[in-house]
A and B are shown apart, each in its own frame.
Chain A
C-alpha cells in the first residue's frame, strides 16, 4: 500500500509539472514519459526499414537506455523521404506488449510448460528427425513468411531443400504475392517490377486496380496526391469493387462487379486496337502473342493439379479473341458503363500521357490472378507504356520482405534461391553453393500452401514449423485447417513474438526476436534490399528465426552447412546468398554497402542501382541494341496473353446472395498481432465490423453497430454492422477486415485458388446475411 501510494504521489507530481509546462509552453511534448521514468532522455537514432508493409519506408528508431522510444521517417531514404504512416510512427510500441513471449514453451500432458530454449530446440530437432524417419522426408514442412528476413528464408531453404531433401518449404506470401510472381514470369520471364517509386513523380495518370492505396500504401498514395497538387496534368482513377478513401481522393471512381476486371481489361485492349492506339513500333519489335489453357478450374478439391501450356498465336488470332470483349458486351457482365471502359482505354491509348497502373491484393487474391496480371501487362504492352519513368504496370507488395525473402530467396515449394527445382542447372548451382550432394535436391515440387495445410489435415505431413506468420487466422476455409493442425499426431512448432490463434495449436512455442532485435535484411516492392542492425537486445530467451533454424540444423548434423558464428552470421549468410544472383540481371549489393545505405535497388551493377529494367538507358543487362530488351524470355520479347473472362469459384445465388470481400484497414497490419498491441492503433480501431451498402442495411433492417449474422457454406459469424464508415461496398456485397482474431472471417472464406499461382481468392465467395 505504502509503495503504491508513494508511486501515485510521484506520478501526480510529474503530471502536475507537465500540465504546468503545457500551459507555459504551448505544444510542449514529453512523449511517452510514464513508461520511461529514470530514463536519461538521451536518444540515439538508428536506421531500419519499417516492420510493416511492402512499401519499405526507411525509419529512424530512437533508442534510449536500451529501449526503443521513438520513430522518425528517414529523410535519406528515397522510398518515403522522411514521412511514415500511423503504423510506422508507432511501430516500436509493438515491441513492448505485456504478453510478449520471452521463453520457450513445450506441450506436456496437454499443458504448455516453460522450458529453457535449448531443451525446446532439442525437442524440435528430435521430433523432426523422428517424423522423417517414420513417415518419409516429405512428412516434415516449414511454413514461413514475407516477414521473414532474407537470412531467415535462406537458411530455411538451405536446411529443408538442400539438407533434408524435401521441397516442403512455403511462405504466407503464397497467399499474397504468388499471382504477381506467375504474372511476371509468364509475361516477362523474370519476377518483380520493372519500374520504381520514382514513377509516381513522373506519371500523369494513376489507375488503381482494386487497390485501396490510401489505406494500404498510404505513403505512396500521399506522394501521388502531392504530385497531383504540384503538377496540373495529373489524375487518379480508382477502379474497384468497393468505395474507399482512395475512391474519395480519386478524380474518378469506377465500380465493377467482382471478377469482371478480366473482361474490362480485355475490353480496354479491344478499344486500343479498334481505335488504332497501338504503339506498332513497340509491338512489332518487343511483343509476341500467346494463349494458354482455358476452363482451368478452382482447386477446391484435394490433390488438384494443373499445368498451363503456352501456344503462340498470331496478332489476328488475338484480335479475333478480343471480339468477345467489346465495351458494350463487357458492360453487361461488369456493370461498368461502356463509356467508362472507353474512357479508361483512351487514357492508356493517349500517346502524350504517362500511365502507371497500381495493384495489390485485389488482382492477386483472385482465382484468375495470373490472368488478370497478364491482362494489365497486355494493356501496357500494346501502347508501349512500360519500363520508362512514369509509365508502367506496378505490382505492389503487402509484406516487408515478400519480395526479398519469398520471391528472391525462393521460399516456395518449386523455387530455389536462383531458378526452380525442376531445372537441373539450377539444382547444380544450389548444391554447389550449399555444399550438399546434388541428389539431395528433389526435382519435384511438393505442396503449395493450401495443399500443404490439406496434407497436414490428411496426415501426409506430420511435422510443421511455422515462423513469423499466423495461419490460424489467415487460412481460407479456416475450420478445416485448424482441425487438421489440432489432430493428435501432428507436431506443430511456432516461432512468434506474441500469443496468437496459431500458438494456440502449437506443441512447441519458440520465443522469437522481433524486427530490430536482430540483424537482418528485407526486400521491398521496388527491388530494394534494406539492411538493419540489431538495435535492441531481444527480451528473455528470444532468438532470431535464423538462429533457431541454425540451432536445429546443427542438432540434425549439418554443422558443415551452417558453420557461422553468432557474431557475424548475417553478413556471412548474405555474402553466400549473393552468389546465387551474380550477373547483371540480378546482382545484389555487397553487405558493406547495404549496411551503410537506407536500402539499395538491384540489379546493383558496378556500384549503380537499376531504376528501370529492360530499358538500356537505365539497365546494363540490356544487350540487343534496341530501345528495349525483354531479356527474361528466350525470344527477347514480352508476351501478350489471350486470357478470357471466367466466373469466380463461388458467386452469389438464390440462397447465398451476397459477395463476401475481405481486406485490411490503415490502423492494423494483417492479423493485428503486433498493431493491436499498439495503444493508439488499437484505440482507433478496436474491433472488426461488417461493412454494408446503406440500402442493403436498410433492407436488412440494421443500423450502425447492430449485429449481423454472416453465413457461408463453410461457417458463420456475428459482427457489428458499419454503414458509411471507412468504405462502402457495392450493393450485394459485404466487406470484413480480417485483423481481428475475435471475428475469424476466414472460417467463411473459400479455399479456391488460381490454378497457375495457387494463390487463394479472399475477395470473393458467397454468403447470406441475417439480422442477429
Chain B
C-alpha cells in the first residue's frame, strides 16, 4: 500500500486543468493552494502494479510542469506484523 505525497506545479495558467485531470485519476487526492500555482497531490495505491500505472498516467498529464516528492511510505510491510 504505497502512499506518496508530491508538490505538483502546473504549466502556466493550467492550475484548474491540472486539478481536474488529477482529480479524475484513480488513487489521487488533491489539495490545491489558494494563492499560489501549487497543488499538493496525495496518492495511495493498492499495490506495485497500480503504482506503476499511476506513475505512467502522471507522466502523461498535459497540464503538469513538474512533480516533486515530499513524502513516501509503504504500509503493506507493517501490516503483516
Q: Main SS of chain A's interface residues?
A: helix
The residue of chain A having its C-beta at the shortest distance from the C-beta of B15 within the complex is A41
Cβ-defined contact, A13 with B73, below 8 A: yes
Residues of A within 8 Å of B79, CB to CB, are 2
Residues of B within 8 Å of A118, CB to CB, are none
Cβ-defined contact, B31 with A18, below 8 A: yes
Cβ-defined contact, A27 with B35, below 8 A: yes
Cβ-defined contact, B5 with A6, below 8 A: no
Interface string of A342-375 (1 = CB under 8 A from B): 0000000000000000000000000000000000
Q: Main SS of chain B's interface residues?
A: strand
Cβ-defined contact, B7 with A21, below 8 A: yes
- B54 at the binding interface (Cβ < 8 Å): no
Cβ-defined contact, B33 with A20, below 8 A: no
Cβ-defined contact, A21 with B1, below 8 A: no
Q: How near does chain A come to B81, taking the closest CB pair, in angstroms?
A: 12
Number of B positions contacting A (CB below 8 A): 31
Cβ-defined contact, B38 with A25, below 8 A: yes
Please report the C-alpha to C-alpha distance between residue A144 and residue B39 in the assembled complex, in whole angstroms: 47
Q: How near does chain B come to A44, taking the closest CB pair, in angstroms?
A: 13
- B16 at the binding interface (Cβ < 8 Å): yes
Cβ-defined contact, A17 with B5, below 8 A: yes
- A315 at the binding interface (Cβ < 8 Å): no
Interface string of B14-37 (1 = CB under 8 A from A): 001001100100000111111110
Please report the C-alpha to C-alpha distance between residue A33 and residue B33 in the assembled complex, in whole angstroms: 9
Cβ-defined contact, A25 with B33, below 8 A: yes
Please report the C-alpha to C-alpha distance between residue A719 and residue B1 in the assembled complex, in whole angstroms: 53
Please report the C-alpha to C-alpha distance between residue A10 and residue B4 in the assembled complex, in whole angstroms: 8
Using A10-B44, A14-B40, A24-B7 as known contacts, say yes or no to A29 and B71 having CB atoms under 8 A apart: no
The residue of chain B having its C-beta at the shortest distance from the C-beta of A18 within the complex is B40
Q: How near does chain B come to A6, taking the closest CB pair, in angstroms?
A: 6
Pick from B4, B5, B20, B34: contact of A40, CB under 8 Å: B20
Residues of A within 8 Å of B50, CB to CB, are none
Residues of B within 8 Å of A14, CB to CB, are 5, 29, 31, 40, 42
- B70 at the binding interface (Cβ < 8 Å): yes
Residues of A within 8 Å of B38, CB to CB, are 21, 25, 28
Q: How near does chain B come to A201, taking the closest CB pair, in angstroms?
A: 31
Pick from A17, A31, A42: contact of B19, CB under 8 Å: A42
Please report the C-alpha to C-alpha distance between residue A37 and residue B70 in the assembled complex, in whole angstroms: 18
Using A14-B31, A17-B70, A42-B19 as known contacts, say yes or no to A6 and B44 having CB atoms under 8 A apart: yes
Given contacts A10-B3, A17-B31, A40-B20, list 9 more A-B pairs with CB under 8 A.
A9-B3, A13-B42, A16-B71, A17-B42, A20-B70, A21-B33, A21-B40, A30-B34, A33-B40
A-B contact pairs, 15 of them (CB 8 A): A2-B79, A10-B3, A12-B71, A13-B73, A14-B5, A17-B5, A17-B41, A18-B40, A24-B7, A25-B33, A25-B36, A29-B33, A30-B40, A31-B34, A40-B23
B residues within 8 Å of A by Cβ? 1, 3-7, 16, 19-20, 23, 29-36, 38-42, 44, 70-73, 75, 78-79
